[in-house]
Amino acid sequence: MEFTRKNRQLLSRIATNDRHGENSPYFDGWKAYDSNPFHPIHNPDGVIQMGLAENPLCFDLIEKWIRENPDASICTAEGLNKFKDIAIYQDYHGLREFREAVAKFMGRVGGNRVTFDPNRIVMSGGATGANETAIFCLADPGDAFLVPSPYYAGFARDLRWRTGVEIVPVHCRSSNNFRITRAALEEAYEKAQRSNINIKGIIITNPSNPLGTVLDKETLRSLVSFVTDKKIHLVSDEIYAATVFSSPRFISVAEVMQDMDCNRDLIHIVYSLSKDMGFPGFRVGIVYSFNDGVTNCARKMSSFGLVSSQTQFLLASMLSDDEFVGNFLRESSKRLAKRHHVFTKGLEEVGISTIKSNAGLFFWMDMRPLLKEQTTKAETELWRVIINKVKLNVSPGSSFNCSEPGWFRVCFANMDDKTVEVALDRIREFVLQGKEENNHEADKSQARAQPWRKQNLRLSFSSSRLYDESLMSPHMISPHSPIPHSPLVRART
Amino acid sequence: MVAMSKIATGNGHGENSPYFDGWKAYETNPFHPTERPEGVIQMGLAENQLCFNLIKNWLTKHPEASLCTPQGVNKFKETALFQDYHGMPEFRQAVAKFMGKVRGDRVKFDPDRIVMSGGATGAHEMVAFCLADPGEAFLVPTPYYPGFDRDLKWRTGVELVPVNCESCNNFKITRSALEAAYVKVQEANLRVKGLLITNPSNPLGTVLDRDTLKSMVRFINDKNIHLIGDEIYAATVFMEPEFVSISEIIEEEDVECNRDLIHIVYSLSKDMGFPGFRVGIVYSYNDSVVSCARKMSSFGLVSSQTQHLIASMLSDDEFVDNFITKSKELLFNRHKYFTWSLSQVGIGCLKGNAGLFIWMDLRKLLKEETFAAEMELWRVITNEVKLNVSPGSSFHCQEPGWFRVCFANMDDYTMKVALLRIRTFMLKNNEAMVPLKLCRPSSLKLSLSRSLSRRMDDFMSPGIMSPHSPLPQSPLVRART
């Protein structure tokens, strides 16, 4: 207590508040994984990580390219003559070739229906930095942004923490596949106005995290016209653009703008190579704005999080190799599609449904039939069971601010094929065991039947038997904050 | 048009201040030994370009330091995926060890207190966000690095209050100056949260002595405010007196200090010459600050590719020891030659022993002791002498007539051209100041430049020196096309 009080006097409010998000009830969920991580040989009973949206499926292609292109590095014999120039290059405009390569890549990812201007490419510290920079440019402390839910848990920190800006969720519902309707937007906007909350913009994530779906043209047009009408900004986080693995295709807000009457000064895109290429460690965030004032301002702010010139140089080379990029994008989609199919089929076989998705590195799993009751508390209970009994670290919907309990985000790309099998086996076992126990309790379950329940599945394990009482409340999943003994770190020692 | 934020539409980024456009003269006409021998020589950029041969040599012998060599590519995937904001343990250990070596191993740094940031730029902003609320203030002794106005104030809303230092006592930071500034802030109903010092100093090129450091530590303890030591030039101390870090001072027996108030900002941009790699470090003795800064580092982590390279390079003890020694030697030689050449034409500098620049005294050349006169002289230096140097007022110096001149960002030939131009200028225009024996120019290897035209009317107002904002046609960019 004394320590905290002293801290409050010594440190800033930002340093002593909770808006970094890691004290929210979800963080400790990682503990079970970190203290008992799965390994096929060394720890086959460990917890499998399915809470990290990573894309490691195509590194063989990348490594091959690296070997064939030694001049992409400033450390190889072929590239060493560039070392000095690159090491001293700190111009916040960024290397021209880097900007050109990224602009070209973004264009290709959008099916070449849009050309991106390299002079609008502004760097940032990953998508984390890009989202924060966008908010710093567009809103003052106390202002708010509408964010359709469910949304990425990290937004609470990225959009709000140091900026002082608020998030007003626009709750979307499963009844219409979590579609973002004009009516919902209007309602949220009006409500905010009535409460004297100054809405400065909307942030959308397309493709969606956690849903794994893309926005259709109609929804995008509706969003663009909404912001134009209300004179507020639209920030489109498109970091999963290249993870679309089946139709419908990805449509960028940039494409939709082209044949619409709209105010271009309101439209901004956040991009990154963390998901599409699988390079979260390289911290390549991009702010792409159609507003000159924002571009200029964001560029000045990029000093706080420029991309390492060493990394700019490497990626400039890699992404300007048209053949490699074409092949990479095709293979990546193929492999993601395959992995997605294996999982969703496996789940279907045991009666678990997921939202129909065609993008992202995860699927949105419907576990509502297994909830004791339609509450967040029940969802958390079920989550504890999944972690402790089924030994899978998945992410509960409430950590994405989903208004309906019972949904879980499950990442499928961040593991090898063998581990996929193990994970599916565990799920099968868990569900089948549940069915067995169900048969003994048929009467009880009939009495509590809900109209939306398709299968007669029910979580029958008494949670008090199952979860570790010493496990603290589940905590928010922050991608950057694995606990010190995380195997990510261990792998290196 | 729909409004952007106040932060976006204000001038807090510092680039609209009357000093920014000074770079234009350089940008539109940059010196090149063969292509543009009469262009403007860049002496406003504090870069350390002297030791790249050593580094390249090391890289040739250590291909495993790169993720892109056959020897290193097996680490590519795990490194590319590594986004843990704790940073790679080897990276933190190597940086902690390097920081210790730079301080002669008189103090040890704990790798678990090493927190990453987007360069020193990001480190400063992060520290301000952790320690102060909008409207609260940091004291900063003058003259100070112009970028502080952006880094510490812009997005944080924190204030900077100058602590005036004077040339009459070599810009020493006195206790009375600190007290005076502190009182002034209080009278304005603002709250002082900390004191920010740069040691070695930019722009002075000097180090703080032990007594001054102790006095400052006592001051901040008395007032219960933070002390932030920007030590990014630590390894550029090339001669006596020795560099003393605040990390050493707090260990001294006669110093009582609440360690929760002590924080160091570090970077590899100046000491190693790697500004492009964006390696900023926040090192705090306050656990809460370490924890908070680490969470904030998500906004500006060091690229894992770069962490991997640096971890390898800086854990090579032999290389590091040799690099530090050699770097000092080259800086010493360059500094000596430079200051000697200037003294030959009657120009004096503050006696400095560190940094990548000298603090040149041109007060005697001023028409009058005003900043307007300083600006005039600066325009002449830019347009006539064709050197881009930085006027003292851009560093908030309280006395007109001082200029910061960088000497480590060019090769020997360019340096000689620059010195020759200064000499020519002094002989032509300020003969009275030049020591008699040199009035007649000796035989010159290089031909004198043609008569310098005065083009003051097409010169715009000088602009702030922002290291990151060279204009789009900067030769830095051009070099790559």
Mean pLDDT score, B58-65: 97
* Prediction ipTM score: 0.90
Query: B70: which chain A residues are within 8 Å (Cβ-Cβ)?
Result: 67
State residue A434's pLDDT score: 73
Locate A266 and state its tokens: 């309101």
Average confidence score pLDDT of chain B? 89
Assess whether B259 and B135 both reside in one domain: yes
Q: Look at residue A165 and tell me if it is in a domain.
A: yes
Closest chain A residue by Cα to residue B124: A304
State residue B285's pLDDT score.
Answer: 98
Cα B19 off chain centre by:
17
Q: Looking at the domain assignment, is residue B13 inside a domain?
A: no
Does any CB of chain A come closer than 8 Å to the CB of residue B10?
Answer: no
Task: State whether B231 and B311 are in the same domain.
Answer: yes
How far apart CA A235 and CA A253 sit, in angstroms, is 9
Which ranges in B29-174 belong to alpha helices (H)?
A: 52-61, 76-81, 89-102, 119-131, 148-151
Note whether B256 and B342 are same-domain residues.
no
Are both A155 and A304 inside the same structural domain?
Answer: yes
Q: Per the structure block, which two tokens stand in for A245?
A: 């693995």
Domain boundaries, position A187: 91-320
Q: Tell me whether the omega of the peptide bond preceding residue A487 falls within 30 degrees of 0, making it cis.
A: no
**Looking at the 3D structure of chain B, how many domains does it have?**
2
Structural domain includes residue B242: yes
Is residue A270 helix, strand or coil? strand
pLDDT band at residue A25, thresholds of 50, 70 and 90?
low
Which one of A278, A297, A304 has the shortest CB-CB distance to B300? A304
Q: At residue B475, does pLDDT exceed 90? A: no
pLDDT reading at B288 higher than 60? yes
Same domain membership, residue A305 and residue A203: yes
pLDDT score at A10: 85
Residue pair B421/B449 in contact by the 8 Å Cβ criterion? yes
B277 at A interface, C-beta within 8 A: yes
Q: Is residue A97 part of a domain?
A: yes
- At residue B469, the pLDDT reads 52
Contact (CB<8Å) A297/B13: yes
CA B125 – CA B378 distance, rounded (Å): 30
Residue A186 pLDDT: 97
Residues A64, A97, single domain; the answer is: no
In which residue are the tokens 């030697």 written?
B329
Which amino acid belongs to residue A150?
A: P
Residue A132 has pLDDT above 50, yes or no: yes
Whole-structure pTM value = 0.90
Q: Tell me how many domains chain A contains.
A: 2
Q: Does A377 touch chain B (CB under 8 A)?
A: no
Residue B481 lies in a domain: no
In a domain, A448, yes or no: no
Per-residue confidence (pLDDT) for residue A468, from 0 to 100: 34
pLDDT (0 to 100) of residue A28: 59
The Cα-based distances of B270 to A35, B235, B311, B333, B395 in angstroms read: 41, 8, 17, 17, 18
Mean pLDDT of A168-173: 96
Strands A144-149 and A353-354, sheet pairing: unpaired
| Judgement on whether residues A285 and A236 belong to the same structural domain of the protein | yes
Per residue in A195-246, pLDDT (tens digit) is 999 999 999 999 999 999 999 999 999 999 999 999 999 999 999 999 999 9
Query: Ramachandran region of residue B441, left (φ > 0), alpha (ψ -120 to 50) or beta?
Result: beta
> Could you tell me if residue B458 is inside a domain?
no
Nearest CA in chain A to B62: A75
Last residue of a domain, one of A291, A320, A349: A320
- Tell the residue number behind the tokens 């039947």, with chain if given: A449
Say yes or no: A298 and A369 in one domain.
no
Give yes or no: residues B152 and B227 share one domain.
Answer: yes
Q: What is the pLDDT of residue A239?
A: 98
Same domain, residue pair B257 and B336: no
What pLDDT is attached to residue B432?
66
Q: Are residues B279 and B188 in the same domain?
A: yes
The residues, ordered by sequence, that sit 6+ positions from A360 with a Cβ below 8 Å of its Cβ are A53, A207, A208, A209, A210, A211, A212, A213, A240, A243
Q: Is B393 found in the same domain as B281?
A: no
Per-residue model confidence (pLDDT) at position B15: 81
- Cα(B216)–Cα(B197) distance, integer angstroms: 9
Residue A420 maps to a domain? yes
Residue A37's CATH number: 3.90.1150.10
Is B289 touching A (CB cutoff 8 A)?
A: yes
Q: What is the pLDDT of residues B324-347, one digit of tens each?
A: 999 999 999 999 999 999 999 999
Residue B390: phi, psi to the nearest 5?
-115, 120
Return the structure tokens found at A432: 């089948």
Q: Residues A452-464: what's their mean pLDDT?
A: 40
pLDDT band, very low/low/confident/very high, at B436 (cuts 50, 70, 90): low
Q: How far is B440 from chain A (nearest CA, A)?
A: 40
Q: Do B77 and A132 touch (CB under 8 A)?
A: no
Q: List, in order, residues 6 or more apart from A325 with CB less than 8 Å away.
A: A104, A105, A108, A318, A319
Phi, psi of A454 (to 5 degrees): -90, -45
> pLDDT of B367-410, one tens digit each?
999 999 999 999 999 989 999 999 999 999 999 999 999 999 99
Q: Which residue in B49, B119, B470 is closest to A91 by CB distance?
A: B470
Look at residue A485 and tell me whether its pLDDT is greater than 90.
Answer: no
User: B145-184 burial, b if ≥16 CB within 10 A, otherwise e?
Assistant: bbbbbbbbbbbbbbbbbbbbbebeeebbbbeebbeebbee
C-alpha A428/C-alpha A424 separation (Å) is 6
- Separation between Cα atoms, residue B137 and residue B188, nearest integer Å: 11
**To the nearest whole number, what is the mean pLDDT of chain A?**
88
On whether both A180 and A146 belong to a single domain, the answer is yes
Residues A21-36 as b or e (16 or more Cβ within 10 Å = b): bbebbbbbbbbbbbee
Which domain CATH number covers B22? 3.90.1150.10
| Residues in B 174-193 with any Cβ partner in A closer than 8 A | none
Residues A371 and A422 in one domain: yes
CB proximity under 8 Å: A 276-315 to B: 278-283, 291, 293-294, 297, 300-301, 303-311, 314
Percent of chain A at pLDDT exceeding 70? 85
CB distance B68–A75 less than 8 Å? yes
Task: Residue B136: list chain A partners with CB under 8 A.
Answer: 12
* Cβ within 8 Å, pair A307-B278: yes
Question: B394: helix, coil or strand?
Answer: helix
CA distances from B477 to A74, A335, B469 (A): 16, 38, 11
Helix (H) and strand (E) counts in chain A: 19, 13
Nearest Cα of chain B lies from the Cα of A163 at a distance, in angstroms, of: 8
* φ/ψ bin of B25: left (φ > 0), alpha (ψ from -120 to 50), beta (otherwise): alpha
Q: Is A62 on the interface with B (CB under 8 A)?
A: yes
d(CA A208, CA A220): 13
Relative orientation angle of helices B317-344 and B89-102, to the nearest 10 degrees: 40
Nearest to A80 among B60, B274, B477 (CB): B60
Checking if the pLDDT of A489 tops 90, the result is no
| B443 in any annotated domain | no
As given in the structure block, the two tokens for residue A346 are 């496996």
**Is the pLDDT confidence value at B226 over 90?**
yes
Model confidence at B77: pLDDT above 90: yes
Note whether residue A447 is domain-resident.
Answer: no
Please give the DSSP secondary-structure letter assigned to residue A74.
S
CB contact under 8 A, A7 and B309: no
Helix (H) / strand (E) element for A358: namely: none
Same domain? For A342 and A423 the reply is: yes
Q: How confident is the model at residue B27 (pLDDT cuts 50, 70, 90)?
A: confident
pLDDT of residue A198: 97
Q: What is the pLDDT of residue A433?
A: 81
B389 and B307 fall within a common domain? no
Q: Which residue of A has its CA nearest to B59?
A: A75
Give CA torsion, residues B116, B117, B121, B126, to 10 deg.
-110
**Which of B316, B336, B352 is the last residue before a domain boundary?**
B316
Say if residue B442's pLDDT is above 80: no
What pLDDT score does A479 carry? 55
Q: Is B260 in CB contact (< 8 Å) with chain A?
A: yes
- What band does B428 get if pLDDT is binned at 50, 70 and 90? confident
Beta carbons of A66 and B67 less than 8 Å apart: yes
Q: Which domain holds residue B171?
A: 67-316
Q: A283 vs chain B: nearest CA distance in angstroms?
A: 6
Contacting residues of A for B63, CB less than 8 Å apart: 75-76
Write out residues 222-241 of B within 8 Å (CB-CB) of A. 224, 226
- Specify whether A47 is located in the same domain as A103: no
Q: Work out how many CB contacts closer than 8 A connect A with B.
A: 295
Phi, psi of B116 (to 5 degrees): -85, 160
Q: Which residue has the higher pLDDT, A173 or B448?
A: A173
Is any Cβ of chain B less than 8 angstroms from the Cβ of A64?
A: no
Nearest CA in chain A to B123: A304
A330-346 as b/e: b if 16+ CB within 10 A: eebbebbeebbeebbeb
Residue reference for tokens 């580094």: B55
Q: Is residue B456 part of a domain?
A: no
Work out the angle at residue B353's Cα, subtended by the Cα atoms of residues B350 and B357, and round it to the nearest 5 degrees.
65
Contact residues, chain A, for B86 at CB < 8 Å: 482, 484, 489
pLDDT tier at A438 (50, 70, 90 boundaries)? low
- Are the Cβ atoms of A314 and B68 closer than 8 angstroms? yes
Query: Quick check: is B2 in a domain?
Result: no
Residue-wise pLDDT for B260-269, tens only, equals 999 999 999 9
pLDDT-derived band at A4 (thresholds 50, 70, 90) equals low
pLDDT exceeds 70 at position B38: yes
- Which of A55, A63, A88, A152 to mutate to test binding with chain B, by most B CBs within 10 Å of its CB? A88
- Whether B117 has a pLDDT exceeding 80, the answer reads yes
Choice among A26, A151, A152, A240 that is catalytic: A152
pLDDT digits (tens, 9 = 90+) for B144-165: 999 999 999 999 999 999 999 9
Per-window interface: A 147-206 vs B, CB < 8 A: 157, 162
Catalytic residue among A239, A269, A352, A427: A239
Amino acid sitting at position B86: H
**Given an 8 Å threshold on Cβ–Cβ distance, is A281 in contact with B304?**
yes
- At A397-410, the pLDDT tens digits run 999 999 999 999 99
Buried b (16+ CB within 10 A) or exposed e, B202-227: bbbbbbbeeebbbebbebbbebebbb
Q: How far is B438 from chain A (nearest CA, A)?
A: 38
- Rounded CA separation B258/B100 (Å): 22
Beta strands (DSSP E) in A105-194 are: 121-125, 144-149, 166-171
Model pLDDT for residues A262-291, shown as the tens digit of each residue: 999 999 999 999 999 999 999 999 999 999
Say if residue B356 is in the same domain as residue B290: no
**Judgement on whether residues B196 and B282 belong to the same structural domain of the protein:** yes
Q: Do A315 and A338 have their domain in common? A: no
Tell me what percent of the residues of chain A surpass a pLDDT of 90: 80
**Do B228 and B329 belong to one domain?**
no
Nearest CA in chain A to B54: A84
Q: What average pLDDT does the segment A386-394 reach?
A: 92
Domain boundary among A395, A418, A434: A434
* One domain for residues A223 and A313: yes
Dist CA A123 CA A299 (whole Å): 7
d(CA B304, CA A283): 8
Domain end, chosen from A320, A345, A371, is at A320
Q: Is the pLDDT assigned to residue A116 strictly greater than 90?
A: yes
A45-61: average pLDDT = 94
Retrieve residue B76's tokens. 């590519």
Q: Are B346 and B323 spatial neighbours (Cβ–Cβ below 8 Å)?
A: no
Catalytic sites of B, residue numbers: 145, 230, 232, 270
Determine contact, residues A27/A18, Cβ cutoff 8 Å: no
**How far does the CA of residue B148 sit from the closest CA of chain A (Å)?**
12
Short-list A493, A34, A35, CA closest to B89: A493
CATH, residue A247 = 3.40.640.10
Domain membership flag for residue B334 = yes
| Whether residues B374 and B295 fall in one domain | no
Q: Give the per-residue pLDDT at A18.
A: 86
